[in-house]
A = this chain, B = another copy of it.
């Protein structure tokens, strides 16, 4: 087996016959998670103070590893894809994204503020989601959600209608006593979302008797209605996963 073939097998899940992720890809996923973790930690002063050198070193090491992975991917691309040369593969969307992510590692070294840009590394995870069996799982979930588009549409319309109704009621009841919080319908909507989702921060609360009665009615009747799309999505997820399980069981039996 040539090096190119071995690299292709290690990097491209569709080139493998075995189930699950290759060891190389498992390592890459861990490295991506690590780089996301570093990106998160860097935003917190308490976690970076006096450790700038360590972060810089980590960035350099991660850059080197991802650069090596990028090069290996380009080199092995002709083996298992429709792309005849590394260059034509390098111009695909997913490969260009890899390049941008790769370059984003260099920016902090030249002093640019890149906390935003660094978050695009998470985008690579989405691409990796295509790998292995999770790709099929996501397809099945997507299909189950699509099957329920009517339910979702109807329940979202009802939920939005209720949100509009309750915001208007609270706006009318509270606008004179709390103009800052309920002085307009868009402002009252902040209260409405917090209440109907039962988050209930408590930063904005009705004070008048009329407002409280409207809020109590909203809370009592509305929670069930806001929970409808949630329940539909959960059902679609379960169904999709069931479909995925029965399909992967099938595939295993055939092999």
Binds B, one of A2-10, A54-62, A97-105, A147-155: A147-155
Q: In whole angstroms, how far apart are the Cα atoms of A14 and B168 in the complex?
A: 33
Minimum CB distance partner of A155 in chain B: B237
Report if A195-B205 is in contact (Cβ < 8 Å); known contacts: A184-B44, A190-B212, A233-B225: no
* A210 close to B (CB within 8 Å): no
User: How close is A119's CB to chain B, nearest CB, in angstroms?
Assistant: 5
Report if A219-B203 is in contact (Cβ < 8 Å); known contacts: A41-B186, A155-B237, A245-B150: no
Q: Contact residue range for chain A?
A: 35 or more
Query: Which residues of chain B are near A40, meaning CB under 8 Å?
Result: 164, 185-186
* A125 close to B (CB within 8 Å): yes
CB within 8 A of A134: which of B154, B183, B193, B198? B154
Query: Which residues of chain B are near A43, meaning CB under 8 Å?
Result: 171, 183-186
Query: Which residues of chain B are near A45, meaning CB under 8 Å?
Result: 183-184
| A contact residues vs B (CB 8 Å cutoff) | 36, 39-41, 43-45, 47, 116, 119, 122, 125, 133-134, 137-138, 141, 150-151, 154-155, 161, 164-165, 168, 171-172, 183-187, 189-190, 193-195, 197-203, 205, 212, 215-216, 219-220, 223-235, 237-238, 241, 244-245
